[in-house]
């Protein structure tokens, strides 16, 4: 095995445009009634920006556990409970299909009830509700806006860093949404957070070694969801048990017939396949973080 695969790289990604977004969030928070924090249900902990609290202060907030179609439904339900215990409204959503979004506006109105009552007293009920959508890159912020607006207003792509400036979008029922570029933070204190963000594609592939990343992810998946991995890669039950990460990757590559001349397994290609198939939920509905890990 190549020596570089044995080292755990230090993953960090905080380019200048994210520092700018961070400033923009701070500047714009005064303009909105509520902050919608979009997280990734598969990594519900690592996809929360620890700086958001200080950036948005005590503005009313709602959390979306997005991409719930790709996450373990059981784990997602436990995350909803976890937040509920903290008095925070969290809703599982799938902004690709729109599933779960029916609960969104009613939940926003519920959270904003005190604000709306105050407005009514002042005869200002017709003022639209303004919300800011924040979250890590590639979480689905622009998809959410398009879903709610019922049209393709914001640019959506399957890579992080697509939205670059802020954009107001008015959706029908007196609600204005502010789309924001995705933002990470300057340093991942826990290396695992950086790794998880790279697995899901919130940290772009150019700043990590995908050969290493796919190998790590496979080990991870095999430990947490062995049957799904065995089924997807046509392994016999327990066939990968006790294997070193690189050997497990080779096994999967061989099962997939990813060979190069001389019969060697093309492990780089196998890594890319693992990443792709995890991101596309082809292996199954998987959650890498559960609330019990943080209680
Ligand atoms: N499976 C699934 N895919 C989703 C969901 N929401 C968004 N996506 C996909 O995730 C990718 C990123 O979506 P965007 O809406 O561009 O994400 P964003 O948060 O605006 O990304 P940036 O602007 O780069 O920060 C796209 O390929 C979407 O189709 C979801 O709920 N489920
Ligand atoms: Mg976007």
CATH number for position 254: 1.10.1580.10
The Cα 146–Cα 212 span in angstroms is: 35
Q: Which ligand 1 atom sits nearest the alpha carbon of residue 139?
A: 19
Regarding the beta carbon of 142 and ligand 1, being less than 6 Å apart is answered yes
Q: Which ligand 1 atom sits nearest the alpha carbon of residue 138?
A: 21
User: Model pTM?
Assistant: 0.95
Give me the number of domains the chain comprises: 2
Regarding the beta carbon of 92 and ligand 1, being less than 6 Å apart is answered no
- Tokens representing 106? 């009613």
Question: In terms of domains, do 142 and 232 share one?
Answer: no
pLDDT averaged over the chain? 94
Question: Per the domain annotation, does 203 fall within a domain?
Answer: no
Q: In a mutational test of the pocket of ligand 1, which residue from 68, 134, 140 has the highest number of ligand atoms less than 8 Å from its CB?
A: 140
The pLDDT tens digits of the residues spanning 211-263 come to: 999 999 999 999 999 999 999 999 999 999 999 999 999 999 999 999 998 88
Give 147's pLDDT tier (boundaries 50, 70, 90). Answer: very high
Regarding the beta carbon of 75 and ligand 1, being less than 6 Å apart is answered no
Question: In terms of domains, do 217 and 89 share one?
Answer: no
**Residues 4, 209 contacting (CB under 8 angstroms):** yes
Out of 140, 163, 179, pick the residue that ends a domain: 179
The pLDDT tens digits of the residues spanning 52-70 come to: 999 999 999 999 999 999 9
Question: In terms of domains, do 80 and 122 share one?
Answer: yes
Q: Which domain covers residue 35, as residue numbers?
A: 16-179
């Amino acid at each position: 095995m190549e020596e570089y695969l044995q080292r755990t790289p230090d993953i960090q990604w905080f380019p200048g445009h994210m520092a700018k977004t961070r400033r923009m969030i701070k500047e714009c928070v005064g303009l909105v009634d509520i902050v919608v924090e979009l997280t990734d249900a598969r990594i519900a902990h690592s996809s929360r920006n620890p700086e958001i609290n200080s950036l948005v202060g005590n503005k009313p907030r709602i959390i979306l556990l997005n991409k719930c179609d790709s996450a373990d439904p059981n784990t997602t339900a436990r995350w909803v409970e976890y937040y509920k215990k903290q008095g925070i409204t969290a809703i599982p959503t799938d902004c690709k299909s729109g599933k779960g979004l029916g609960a969104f506006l009613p939940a926003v109105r519920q959270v904003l009830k005190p604000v709306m009552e105050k407005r009514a007293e002042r005869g200002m009920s017709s003022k639209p509700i303004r919300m800011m959508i924040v979250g890590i890159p590639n979480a689905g912020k622009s998809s959410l806006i398009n879903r709610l607006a019922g049209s393709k207003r914001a640019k959506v792509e399957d890579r992080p860093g697509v939205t670059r400036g802020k954009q107001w979008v008015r959706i029908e029922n007196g609600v204005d949404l502010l789309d924001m570029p995705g933002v990470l933070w300057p340093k991942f204190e826990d290396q695992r957070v950086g790794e998880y963000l790279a697995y899901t594609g919130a940290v772009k592939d150019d700043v990590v070694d995908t050969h290493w990343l796919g190998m790590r992810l496979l080990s991870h998946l095999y430990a947490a969801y062995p049957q799904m991995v065995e089924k997807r890669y046509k392994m016999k039950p327990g066939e990968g048990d006790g294997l070193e990460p690189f050997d497990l990757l080779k096994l999967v590559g061989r099962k997939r017939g990813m060979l190069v001349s001389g019969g060697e397994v093309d492990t780089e290609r196998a890594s890319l396949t693992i990443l792709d198939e995890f991101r596309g939920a082809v292996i199954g509905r998987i959650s890498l973080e559960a609330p019990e890990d943080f209680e």
